[in-house]
Structure 1
Amino acid sequence: MNKTMSIIFAFLLLINISCSKAQDKLKPIINSKTMNEQPIYTLKVTSSNPYESYINNMVLEKDYLTGSSDSELIINDLILKSGKQKLQIVLLPNDGNKTVDKLGIDYLTLSIYRYNNGYSSYVERKSTLIYEFKLDDPHVEMPLITKEWIFNIDVPYKLKNWEHSIDLRKEDEDKLLKEVVDYYNHLANIINKGDKKSFLTIMKVKNSEVFKSLYNDAELIKEDERYIDNKLSKSIGNIQPLENYNIMYYGNGRIVTLEDKKGETPLFAEDKNDIYSYQIYLHRPYPNAPLEVIR
């Protein structure tokens, strides 16, 4: 399972083949405007099949494990501003099957929850269900099922938007791949040396945007810094060579990353106790600009 949204310590908690590309506008279960100042939103997925979930064309999770699963992940950093948001699910067949069966379709449930008061209500599990989504049975066997929904969310912030970044799909893929791999190797060297200052400089935009979306105060930011310190210290000298990766495009082609066949980052350190993964998403803010970490 890919928990790629390495959001912060305090909140740790494409395939483009479509059965249905229809975008259904959902009415909220309750009025989402009756919110406090710091709402945290999550997507909860209950599934008996492997799946991929996306918010606003950005990957949230890739769970390729067979069998039932129940996952709830924060989506705030993928909500760039108030208004219409897009949820996409890709439902895959279980191992040994060539198609998604009716049981898998019927069992799948996707729910958007709101935690009204930021971190405190999240820790206390005080949530409100505001949207619920189900798949319709296509009545035909499909090798996978893709469905999209449009829903509305209100947030008291605006994040740096990549919608005006360069569409990387239009660039020479071989040159782009080399640039992306070079970026990963540069970051790998920084991590391998435990160079916290350079690491934080690279992650500055990502961290500030995520902190804003999660309303982090000074105490939570310090907790995250301690987590980063610990992770970096355990990664020193333990970064593994990049291998078995593919270039992947998200955000309507404006975001690029590397993933292995499990949907996980190929950039990680490993010691005798654990694996320390580093997932990054890159964009080019304007023509001829170098790639930058945006998430």
Structure 2
Amino acid sequence: MKKTILYLLIGCSLASCAQEKKKMNDNLIPDLYKEVKFKDQKISYRAGIQVGASNFVLLINDVPVAQNFEEAGGTFNTSAPINDMILKSGKQHFKLILYPGFKNNVPLTALSENVLAKITIEGLKYEGEGVKTIVEPFTILEIGENGKAFTEKGKPTAIYEGTFDAKVPYDLTAWSKSKDLRKEDSATLEKEVLAFYQQYINIVKNKDAGALAKLVYKKEKNYAQALFLDQEGTQNQWDSYLELIKDPTLVMEPVEKYKMNFYANGRLVTLERIDYPNIGEPALRSESKEDGRAVVGFYFCQLHKPEGSNTLELIH
């Protein structure tokens, strides 16, 4: 079964709109490029990630960037954009959490002596089909092989953290002033999150593009600025949403086998799966058909309560 990661974060209101209102809302996301500032100073930071002989989660400013919860053998390599985790210039915090992983679908209990990890940061500028290096790659963490010795063998987890500098021209509020949701009643908050997810499911079923565009606006505005999206970029974002609600084969799955997790020092909340091999994946999922094959889609949905509000909103 094929899995597809869909970075679609959709809001919670189901209020219907008049046809004229829907047409206006349909243009909200494609037109966001007009609000993007500092295009002449744009820089795209990326994290180069190499982790071997263990599972892991990498967080930047306490927001997940990448993770892997599968068989522990081999080495995981990727390069991930991190601008949308960087809200302003200055010191950025990183944390790498290592886990033993699985062997033949059975969870291991201790980290191997063969663990290695290397995290690098670089700053790029995309110009059409070309790429210019603004900040040369630099290493923020290296363990094993050429790095410092791995000394956590036999432990159930290992955590490495530190800071690095990043310079961006924008300053986004986003979730920086939001409520610390860890201080709220856990059972009540979970019900609110589940209600949000159910309303999202209803939006998909109703195929309400106008309401969808209005409700993802804040998230998409932040994303457009952080990634310095141009007209093609914001149109591509909207096209992804349209593909979701127009797919006649798509069926939303039940929200199940999950745990409520907090990020951004408690300012973001989301539901993530706890069952292997879906550990750490979003609990909001769908199934559709592609060339006769089943395709599982999952949707990152990180919510916050803005300063002065008691209502969950989608922000990342």
TM-score with structure 1 length normalisation? 0.82
Q: Any idea what the Cα deviations from partners look like across 1:52-98, whole Å, max 9, x if unmatched? A: 01000111122112232111110000000000001100011132442
Paired residue total = 264
Match of 1:177 in 2: 190
**Paired residues for 1:99-110 under 5 Å:** 99-104=110-115, 107-110=116-119
Give the corresponding residue for 1:220.
233
1:209 matched to 2:203? The reply is no
TM-score, normalisation: structure 2 = 0.76
Change (3 A) 1:3 1:237: closer
**Out of 72, 87, 90, which is 1:83 matched to?**
90
For the residue of structure 2 that corresponds to 1:134, the secondary structure is strand
Deviations 1:177-215 (A, max 9, x none): 000100110011101222122122221111110010111
Residues 44 and 170 of structure 1, relative CA distance in 2, 3 Å threshold? same
Judging changes above 3 Å, is the alpha-carbon distance between structure 1 residues 119 and 166 closer, same or farther for their aligned structure 2 residues?
A: farther
Aligned residue for 2:287?
270
Moved over 4 A (4+): 2-5, 118-122, 124-127
Do 2:118 and 2:139's aligned partners in 1 also have CA atoms closer than 8 Å? no
Match of 1:47 in 2: 51
Pick the structure with more strand per residue.
Answer: 2
Instruction: Give 3-state SS (helix, strand or coil) of 1:178's partner.
Output: helix
Partner Cα separation in structure 1 for residue 284 and residue 133 of structure 2: 33
2:76 to 66, 69, 76: 69
Give 1:129's match in structure 2, choosing from 130, 134, 137: 137
- Which structure has the higher relative contact order (CA within 8 Å, separation 6+)? 2
Supply the AA of the counterpart residue of 2:312.
L
Q: Distance in 2 between matches of 1:188 and 1:139?
A: 43
CA 1:277–1:139: 2 relative to 1, 3 Å: closer
Larger CA Rg, structure 1 vs 2: 2
Gaps of 5+ in 1: 9-35
Equivalent residues of 1:51, 1:91 under 8 A apart? yes
Shift of 1:100: 1.6
Cα displacement (A) at 1:161: 3.6
Rounded to whole Å, the distance in 1 between the matches of 2:216 and 2:127 is: 23
Post-superposition offset of 1:132: 3.8
- Pairing of 1:184-199 with structure 2 (within 5 A): 184-199=197-212
Contact (CA 8 Å) 2:179, 2:267: kept in 1 or not? yes
Q: Write the deviation string for residues 138-196 of structure 1: whole angstroms up to 9, x where unpaired.
A: 26532111010101000111122423211111111111000010011001110122212
Q: Is the 1:40–1:214 contact (alpha carbons within 8 Å) kept by the matching residues of 2? A: yes
Gaps of 5+ in 2: 10-39
Question: Do 2:121 and 2:138's aligned partners in 1 also have CA atoms closer than 8 Å?
Answer: yes
CA distance in 1 between counterparts of 2:137 and 2:6 reads 22
Alpha-carbon distance between aligned partners in 1 of 2:57 and 2:196, rounded to the nearest angstrom: 26
Residues 33-53 of structure 1 show CA distances to partners (whole Å, capped at 9, x for unaligned) of xxx711111111111221101
How far did 1:231 drift?
2.3
Q: Aligned partners of 2:287, 2:250: CA distance in 1, in Å?
A: 9
Does 1:153 pair with 2:154? no
Matched residues in 2 for 1:240 and 1:77: separation?
28
Partner SS for 2:47: strand
